[in-house]
Amino acid sequence: MRIPHPKPIALEGWESTKSNWWTRLLGKPTKADIMLHCDTRPPNEIEAEQIKVPESKHVPDSSMPEVFNQKNANTSLLIVARRRYWRFLNDPFREIYREHRKLHGESFPDYAPTDVQADNMIKLIELLDRPNSSNWVEIAELSRELGDFEAATNAAAIYKGTDNNLIEIVRRLIVMKISSPVRFKY
């Protein structure tokens, strides 16, 4: 896929084009005309834009380990991949949760993360737990799902954001010692 050029490239030396009445009388383009109707960027900028743009590929959630097991992967990419994998690994529990709610109402089914889930959540916490982090609600939620209520309480206490409804829901779940993934509206 190439980026299209909506305007023709301006001729070399266009900057020195005269914009006087004589130029206009002869019907030649003025500097203003060239700037309006031509691509006047430097040649290296135009060439850079003409480089082939790679096709974007969607990576399914189940393939996230291939993404985060790459050598020298960017931290931001690792966080996104591990978040997506966390949600993907929670999908089977969502069905159990729905069936449980149909039978038992507002209670929560028993939950214990698999080794794969626990390993992913621990590594995600390690990526998010940085000085000046703004991810304390997420760290609290991950710790809660791991059943580490003390770490979850500590992370929730550090949170300084403005989304008080969300942190209060997470704090209530911690106090209730509920470790299962929970669907909630706030």
Residue 1: the pLDDT is: 40
Instruction: Tell me the pLDDT tens digit for each residue of 106-126.
Output: 888 888 999 999 999 999 999
Between CA 77 and CA 169 the distance in angstroms is 28
C-alpha pair distances (Å), 153 with each of 11, 41, 158: 66, 55, 9
Between CA 11 and CA 38 the distance in angstroms is 9
Residue 126: the pLDDT is: 95
Instruction: Tell me the pLDDT tens digit for each residue of 117-174.
Output: 999 999 999 999 987 778 899 999 999 999 999 999 999 999 887 778 888 999 999 9
Decide if 151 contacts 117 (C-beta within 8 A): no
Does 2 score more than 50 pLDDT? no
Does 35 score more than 70 pLDDT? yes
* Structure tokens, 37: 């109707």
| pLDDT tier at 5, thresholds 50, 70, 90 | low
Percentage of the chain surpassing pLDDT 90? 37
pTM (predicted TM-score): 0.66
The candidate with the shortest Cα–Cα distance to 144, out of 94, 178, 93, is 178
Query: Domain ranges in the chain?
Result: 14-50, 62-175
Does 56 score more than 60 pLDDT? no
The answer for 86, left when phi > 0, alpha when psi is -120 to 50, beta otherwise, is alpha
